[in-house]
Amino acid sequence: MSHIHLPDGVLPVWLWASGFIVVILIWTILLRSMKKEDLTRRLPLLGMMAAVMVLGASVEIIPIAYHVNLTVISGILLGPSLIFLATFVVNTILALFGHGGITVIGLNTLILSIEGVLGYFLFHLFWKVLKRLTPAVFFATFIALLFSTSAMIGVISLGTSHYEELIHQERGKGIIGFEFGKEKEELHPGQPAEEKVNLGPFIAIVLPLGFIGWMLEGVITTLIARYIRRLRPDLLRLEGEPL
């Protein structure tokens, strides 16, 4: 749900280019701070979780048109640094599958990284407070998805003026699905018509359906975490439990 599925050419250049610039800056910081031994040791887990995220994103839950990201459980297992690398790999693969254009890889990487990193810290925070795995994982997943979906909506809203230009150029032919959200300004004599993009209907659809999806993903993530705790509790790195 927090993945931007827009094709190339929809978002303004300054917006998607900024995504790549920020990604490159974060890469530079991570590569300089990360120990090569730790990266080599955890590389198989990174590849496995990236594959799991791609698989989850490929399965749509009907009728709410939602797909699970599994980014939070990946963030919990990989940690803040490696989840960033994993989300880049995942978004590159998804772009090749048509889940968004090539130009939005940077922005999608940042959005899903917010989800994974926030999920990691919230999980450990709730674990320290509650000392119970189920509510810790569920609440961490729900809140992380809320924030990442809000970030996705925020990114899309930044390109509003660009969408209006596209609609004006194509004379309202329904580009990128914003036909339902168009508004026309009140015209004065001799004033040309201008199309306005209203993201209200888009948000009104995304948030209620997202709420259902966040609940579902919270349950799924919790079940996965409980299963991992039985088999490999050391992967969860729970404070106060033997590794």
* Model confidence pLDDT, tens digit, residues 148-186: 999 999 998 888 877 777 766 665 454 444 444 545 445
Residue 11 lies in a domain: no
Residue 64 lies in a domain: yes
What proportion of the chain, given as a percentage, has pLDDT over 70? 84
CATH of the domain at 71: 1.10.1760.20
Residue with the larger pLDDT of the pair 237 and 152 = 152
Residue 10 lies in a domain: no
Residue with the larger pLDDT of the pair 41 and 70 = 70
User: Considering the entire predicted model, what is its pTM?
Assistant: 0.84
Residue 164 lies in a domain: no
Query: Does residue 112 contact residue 71 with C-beta atoms inside 8 Å?
Result: yes
Residue 170 lies in a domain: no
Q: Which domain holds residue 114?
A: 16-158+199-235
Can you give the pLDDT at residue 9? 85
Residue 111 lies in a domain: yes
Residue 104 lies in a domain: yes
194 confidence band (pLDDT: 50, 70, 90): low
Q: How far is CA 166 from CA 12, 48, 176, 229, in A?
A: 10, 40, 9, 50
Q: Report how many domains make up the chain.
A: 1
Residue 69 lies in a domain: yes
Can you give the pLDDT at residue 241? 62
Q: Which residue has the tokens 């900024």?
A: 18
5 confidence band (pLDDT: 50, 70, 90): confident
Backbone angles phi, psi at 197, to 5 degrees: -95, 125
